Structures are given as structure tokens and as C-alpha cells.
A and B are shown apart, each in its own frame.
Chain A
Amino acid sequence: EVQLVQSGAEVKKPGESLRISCQGSGYTFTNYWISWVRQMPGKGLEWMGRIDPRDSHTIYSPSVEGHITISADKSLSTAYVQWSSLEASDTALYYCARLDGSCRHSNCYAFDNWGPGTLVTVSS
């Protein structure tokens, strides 16, 4: 069974750093890209960026580029998103999702499996 297991909820202060994780299991981790999606309280879904775990090639949404860093450790089958300086506006639920970036499957580029989300609260 494909699973994306995300790290637990975090409460941080503005200016603090943070890294959250997403570990894939039940499939070959390097065969799929990982995307990160943000959902602010009561709002819709917003794509943040994605990484190819084979070579760590990463692209970001213009709305978050420079504010977050997405990385992956293929030996741990884990992807990460990190902030060096959190802002109150980073308060959100963060989902990871996998996508077939090589079009081995007909649903390539669609987000076919999602993690349960990590709630990040940034408050002074």
C-alpha cells in the first residue's frame, strides 16, 4: 500500500526555522516526484513546489520561491520542506503528494497519493 507519512504538528514563533518531512513507502520512492501543497486556514489548495528525488531537481511556485527550500533524501525515502525564518502567514496545513513525472502511468503529473498533512502554526 502506498503511504506518505508526514511529520507531526509544529508550533513556532516568527523568525524561527523549521523543517517538516514526508516519508514514502509501498512504492519505489525515486520513481515519483513529490509536491508540496499549502492550505491556509479555511482556504483552498496552493501548490508550493516539487522535487524529483532521483536528482533533487526542484521547481517552486513564484509565490514561495526564496522563502522555502524543498529537498529529498532518497536513502530515507523522505522529502522535506524547510523555512529559515517563519512568518505568521506561514500558518497552514502542508500536504505532500506524489506524482509520476516520467509518465510511466496514464495519470502522470496528477497528484495520485497524498499525505495526511502537517499543521504548522506560527504565532508570537
Chain B
Amino acid sequence: DIQMTQSPSTLSASVGDRVTITCRASQSIGSWLAWYQQKPGKAPKLLIYKASSLQSGVPSRFSGSGSGTEFTLTISSLQPDDFATYYCQQYNSYSYIFGQGTKLEIK
């Protein structure tokens, strides 16, 4: 089974910072990777699909990159609304594996 590992588990940053979250797959998944944002008490929200495509309505400060086994989510300039937990997800037609999550906290 494919495993998805995110790092770091927790990240402390300030408004205006540039932050990067990494997601590694235990085997190559091509570009079949999504990133989600989840705020406390809310459902997750799709940010990025196919590793680097921005979901409609998502601010352009969010970007994704990578392919194969290593992927990154970058927020170019943190805004107060961005403090949340972020999950990567490997997906295809029959398998949907989430990473363990990265909690982005205010420094």
C-alpha cells in the first residue's frame, strides 16, 4: 500500500512568511496528488490538484509542485486566514490516501 508522509507535523510561522510543506509518497504516484486545508470544526477544502493545479477560487499565494514521490505546498505570503491544518492526498480511481497532516500555527 502507498503511504504518504508529510513534514513537518507542526509549523510555526508569522503573517507574511513564505512557508513550504513537504509530502512524500512511498512509491511513485505521478502527479496524482492533492492538497487540502482544514480549519477547526470545518470540512476540508481542496486547494491544489494534480500536484500543481490551483482549484478555482483558491488564492494564488498557494502553489504546489512535484511529481513522482516528492511534493510541496508553498504559501508565498501567509495571511491570518491561512493558519490551519494541511493534508496531502494521493488519489486515483481506486485509492485515496491522506498524509497525516501539517498544523500551521501562528508564531
Contacts and interface: CB of A to CB of B under 8 A. Distances in A.
Contact of A110 (B38, B42, B49, B100): B49
- Name the residue in B49, B50, B53 with the highest tally of chain A Cβ atoms < 10 Å from its Cβ: B49
Contact of B55 (A35, A112, A117): A112
A95 interface: yes
Q: For chain A, which range describes its interface: under 10, 10 to 19, 20 to 34, or 35 or more residues?
A: 20 to 34
A107 interface: yes
Q: For chain B, which range describes its interface: under 10, 10 to 19, 20 to 34, or 35 or more residues?
A: 20 to 34
Given A35-B96, A95-B44, A111-B46, A45 B101 contact: yes
Nearest to B97: A47
Contacts of B100: 44
Nearest 8 interchain pairs by C-beta? A114-B43, A110-B49, A47-B96, A107-B49, A110-B34, A45-B98, A44-B101, A109-B91
Given A62-B1, A107-B55, A111-B91, 4 more contacts: A44-B99, A107-B53, A110-B46, A111-B34
